[in-house]
Structure 1
Amino acid sequence: MEGDRSGVRRVAYPLWSDGSDAVFSSTMWADEQGRYTSSACTVRDVSIRAADETNSRRAKRRRIDTLEGRVNRGARAVMVRLMLMVCAGACMGVIAQVRSQRSAAGAVVGVRALHRGAVQKPRHGPFALVLVIDAARFDEVDLKKMPNLARLVAGGTTYTRAWVGQLPSITETSHATIGTGVLPFRHLILGDKWRIPGTDQMSPDLLDAQLTRTGYIGKFIHQKGVPDIATFVHRKFPGSLVATLSGHKVYAADALGAGSADFVAFGMKDARGHYIPGAIPGHEPGEAILKSKQLDLPAYPRNGTEDEWTTTLAEKFLFKYHPRLMMVNFPEVDNYGHIAGTSASVMGPLMVNIDHQIGRLVAAYGRAGILPQTDFVITSDHAMVPALHTIDQGVVQRIIHQAGGQALYIGHGDYCPIWIKDLAAVPRVAVALANANMPNVQAVYVKDVSGEYRLVSSAARLADPAVNSTYLDLLSTFASGESPDIVLLYGEDTMTMTPGFAKIGRKGDHGGATWGAQHIPLILAGPGVKQDFVSDFPARLVDLAPTVETLLGAQPQNQDGIPLADALIHPSGPLIVRQQRVEPRMLRDVQALEQSAGLQTRR
């Protein structure tokens, strides 16, 4: 917020990049009524607006990074004094010499113990670790082959009907929701790209690494003024640190941090072709991590080694900084899911490897002396559906053109979001798509002038008519000026096939409202969580931030999610009532998706 624009919210929409981090076109201004105007803006301008926060974070990290150096210098000074004492004692005779040596030996042991304590001293809890297994399906969690996760399940709470609970079900959006506890219509990370309101232009592509490594996503969320879990932690525990990490998915780590995490780190290729740690400017760790030889790989890690690398990165953050909260994205299940679909021969070994990484992190927290004070959350950002059926993107394009419309952007996934350049053409294009009766397209929804979605295709096309209410609930989670004009919702195991996907043989996707993409694993474990408890409450991603905040002793405020009271050992009465209040609608939605998926399977 700048002084000359009181009451106006600034939203950066860079439209192009010259390959540097210096300039990205224009900025959109939005007032409280949602009116947008534009003005010149640079990435550097955006960075300057957060300068005070960045300087504060850097100062805090410098104090931590120099602690070990101070202890080392102090230890060396003590050692020098002890050596002089020993030499003096030698001149005083054999007895005095022996006594001095014994005294010196004891003092040296004490100094070394002090030094170790400064590096790995157990801190006062509570702590939390959130692990996101990108694209893991609920039915891919086989506890017989995942003993480390099985131990957490036995010591915690499992949600059998956990779901994404929003649209779109994709990485950037889901991680933004996890990091904030608000739905997409508030944080406005609506996929890879979305319409800039009041224009016929789309936002920049969030899969553009040059853009996202500038911290674009975190800044974008931060400018929305929505709450975020990192800020709650900082307010509850002044001086505590929050780290958000991934392998190559900077867009996942940055979304989790929501612009407020102290550290946002990820993996990237350098000029040599090596895979090394990178970080968002202003959220970097010390050189000990960025220049770690253990994290410098000679080639891009594959076949589980990227998830292993990510665990090593997390271990280094744990032992150097003892973050109050660490959130980690494991990317490889998603990587291979797009290539192999849900093939058990591919996904099985990857999930077993994930279990190994979970075991490493649990052991690391034990070595750090804070395991008994740490709550764990293990989940996924979305699931993956196999491409047993496909919708040709070219066919969708032709129908739009024949109806007199021009596509601004046609999205992909196990649904199809569509933006039309001329908004006046939207109603007739929607009707044309509905009348096309494309196989495996269950429903066509259009956004009306009020900003709400309505069904324009026949309800008879739905596998279960009751699922229409669920679809409308899901569509409402991202309904906004930025959201798609038209949405095609598919049946199970169906994805949009683009020319590029056809060329590489893409076999899996996500993003939509199918139960296959929505159903995810969710396990909570730790000192604040019920043991060996199974819940059928339809927990959503938006509920994770309030739940973690509650476990950490913070008070959630102004969030769309709820603390999962049934998992807590000592939930308050109001939390129990709040969960009971939303449960009927959540159960209705999930049961409709389950029923619809079951009917489609039996056909």
Structure 2
Amino acid sequence: MRNLLALAFALAMASIQPAHAQTSHNDGTAATHGPIVVLITIDGFPARALQDPRLPMPALRKLMHDGAYAQGMQPINPSVTWPNHTTLITGVNASEHHVMANGLITFPQDGSVPEVKPWTPKDQLVHARTLYDVLAEKGMSTGQVDWVAIYGAKNVQWAFAEQPEVDSPIAQDLIAQGLVTKEQVASFGDDSTPAWRDEIWTDAAIDILVHHTPNLLLFHLLQTDTLQHEYGALSPAAYAAYAYADTRIAKLIDAARKAGLLDRITFVIASDHGFTDYTHAVHPNVELVRAGYLHQEKGSYRGDVWIQPEGGEASLYIRDSAKRAELLPKLKADFAKVPGVAAIYTASEANQLGLPAPGSTDQAPDLYLIAKAGYSFTDGTDEPLVTDFENARGAHGYLNTNPDMQALFVASGAHIKHGVRLGAISNLRVAPTIAKLLDVSLPAARQAPLTDILQ
């Protein structure tokens, strides 16, 4: 395994040089002066990985050495990708922005299984002002690459999305440069590897930064999350993914240097959550079937009660409000007996954890379940209640106080003091800090900016 990791790292480092040279030309719409912030998220990067001196991330280490970094950054609940990415650019938690999953949780009228719809327009999904909304009001611009909860956002000028559009300006730029074909863009998520997608997303981020130069660039790297889910946190595969993400950051910094932009850019490197291992998968909807809350009709299960599971957390929804008062104590008592359930919170208790208040949105759960260490909640109605695995897999979603869920925060470059070592911080402080760097106001932010790291 060590040889495999060494080979993966060598290949990743070899790919740091772009196959096609980038130029410093822009199209005339660039921010020609003033600060630029590049917010890069390494999905699922655990803060505890920084404690390993063998962590193969020289670009990140240099940014830490030259700038400021936190011992750990606490995510919001739920410690899931889309809710926390939304917090990073709004400064509020899920109780206000209402993003509870990797998309909008929808409830079919026929009582069948809820669906999470990622391609929901941002204005329907995010109920808070974002940095890019504030910037647009000031005549400033934003670019985004593989960012989330941002579909159809009218105040993002330059975009290369998780599922990019062939006719978008950035896709056309990459096609013209020979970095990707029209056919590859059209089938971007089909039969492609996470590493290849991160490579093309990096090319897109460079194109936006160098050719269009927005005031704010949002850039999300995903492979680190994908491989940890499959092989576990801090596994050899995870380390290879960390190393590869580092080469993507280095490639973007190198392009900014060649374009003469480094003296204007503040790089903020963050993660949305940490990761931990599990060897037992709990299928909570199986318990709803056993207890008679779900029944088969026309070949599928239907009912008034469903659970939306996401790793270390699961949200229970009662569709019929007239039955809520009667069912809640029964359901809570029932799930208290299910193996792997560490805690069950009522809606009002979950609100104290930062989740939406009862009645504020249909995304607010009626009960909120947290998994024990070594357990993870997952989908399914026909499986055993608990499935055991010989090899560990990775998950997140556990309470944001869990040490393994703590995330990464590094700030370096223009306007950042050198050598600042922060203790533990909250990710609620990222958005107001970026707002201060860009000299805009984000009054809804719930915590103060990190002024101690600013020059």
Q: Aligning the two structures, in what range does the TM-score lie when normalised by the shorter sequence?
A: 0.7 to 0.9
Cα offset, 1:499, TM superposition: 4.0
1:235 equivalent to 2:121? Answer: no
From the superposition, tell whether residues 244 and 306 of structure 1 become closer, same or farther in structure 2 (CA, over 3 Å). same
* Correspondences of 1:466-485 after superposition (within 5 Å): 473-476=352-355, 480-482=360-362, 483-485=364-366
- Residue 135 of structure 1 aligns to a residue whose secondary structure is coil
Taking the aligned partners of 1:333 and 1:359, their CA distance within structure 2 comes to: 16
Corresponding residue for residue 136 of structure 1:
45
Given the two structures, how large is their TM-score scaled by the length of structure 1? 0.60
Q: Any conservation in 2 of the 1:244–1:254 contact (CA below 8 Å)?
A: no
Aligned residue for 2:411? 524
* Unpaired segments ≥5 residues, structure 1: 1-114, 247-251, 269-276, 455-471, 570-603
Q: 2:333 maps to which residue?
A: 432
CA distance in 1, matches of 2:290, 2:446: 37
Q: 1:263 aligns with which of 158, 165, 172?
A: 158
Query: What whole-Å deviation, never above 9, does each CA across 1:34-61 have from its counterpart, x for those lacking one?
Result: xxxxxxxxxxxxxxxxxxxxxxxxxxxx
Q: Following TM superposition, by how much is the alpha carbon of 1:258 offset from its aligned partner in structure 2, in angstroms?
A: 5.1
Relative to 1, partners in 2 of residues 1:201 and 1:147: Cα closer, same or farther, differing over 3 Å? same
| The one of 308, 312, 321 aligned to 1:414 | 312
Q: Is the 1:195–1:484 contact (alpha carbons within 8 Å) kept by the matching residues of 2?
A: no
Instruction: Please say if residues 25 and 211 of structure 2, whose CA atoms lie closer than 8 Å, have aligned partners that are also in contact.
Output: no
The match for 2:35 is: 126
Cα root mean square deviation, aligned: 3.5
Q: Which deviations, in whole Å up to 9, do the C-alpha atoms of 1:242-280 show, x marking residues without a partner?
A: 11112xxxxx44439854211231254xxxxxxxx427x
Alignment of 1:479-498 (within 5 A): 480-482=360-362, 483-498=364-379
Shift, 1:410, TM fit: 3.5
Contact map agreement 1:179 1:228 (CA 8 A) in 2: yes
In structure 2, what is the equivalent of residue 321 of structure 1? 212
CA deviations 1:362-421 (Å, max 9, x no partner) are: 111111211011111111112222123332335532465379984234423112211123
What residue is the counterpart of 1:564 in the other structure?
450
Matching of residue 287 in structure 1 with residue 178 in structure 2: no
1:441 and 1:488 in contact (8 A); partners too: yes
The structure with the largest strand share of the pair is 2
* Contact 1:241–1:321 (CA under 8 A) maintained in structure 2: no
Q: What's the secondary structure of 1:387's corresponding residue?
A: strand
Question: Could you say which structure has the larger radius of gyration?
Answer: 1
186 and 369 in structure 1: CA distance in 2 versus 1, 3 angstrom threshold: same
1:387-402 aligned at under 5 Å gives the runs 387-398=278-289, 400-401=291-292
CA contact (8 A) 1:389 1:495 kept: yes
Matched, 1:183 2:183: no
Q: 1:203 to 1:392 in 2, by over 3 A?
A: closer
Letter aligned with residue 129 of structure 1: V
Residue 357 of structure 1 pairs with residue 248 of structure 2: yes
Structure 1 residues 175 and 122: alpha-carbon distance in aligned structure 2, compared to 1, 3 A threshold = closer
Percent identity over the alignment?
A: 19
Name 1:338's counterpart in structure 2.
229
SS in structure 2 opposite 1:377? strand
Q: In 1, are the aligned partners of 2:304 and 2:320 still within 8 Å (CA)?
A: yes
Q: Hey, what does 2:8 align to over in structure 1?
A: none
- Matched position secondary structure for 1:362: helix
Deviations 1:74-123 (A, max 9, x none): xxxxxxxxxxxxxxxxxxxxxxxxxxxxxxxxxxxxxxxxx976669993
Q: SS of 2:263's equivalent?
A: helix
Contact 1:219 1:259 in 2 (8 A): no
Contact 1:453 1:475 in 2 (8 A): no
**For the Cα contact (< 8 Å) 2:174–2:203, is it kept in 1?**
no
SS of the residue aligned with 1:244? strand
Relative contact order: is structure 1 or structure 2 higher (C-alpha 8 Å, sep ≥ 6)? 2
Q: Flag the structure with higher helix content.
A: 1
Contact 2:263 2:413 in 1 (8 A): yes
Q: Paired residue for 2:77, among 148, 164, 167?
A: 167
Partner amino acid for 2:344? V
Q: How many residues align?
A: 405
CA distance 1:343–1:152, shift in 2 (3 Å): closer
Confirm or deny that 1:157 pairs with 2:59: no
Shift of 1:426: 3.3
Residues 295, 562 of structure 1: alpha-carbon distance in 2 compared, 3 angstrom cutoff:
farther
Q: CA deviation at 1:143?
A: 5.8
Residue 72 of structure 2: SS of its match in structure 1?
coil
Structure 1 residues 335, 478: CA separation in 2 closer, same or farther (over 3 Å shift)?
A: farther
CA distance in 1, matches of 2:210, 2:201: 15
Alpha-carbon spacing, 1:198–1:513, altered in 2? closer, same or farther (3 Å) = farther
- CA shift for structure 1 position 309: 1.8
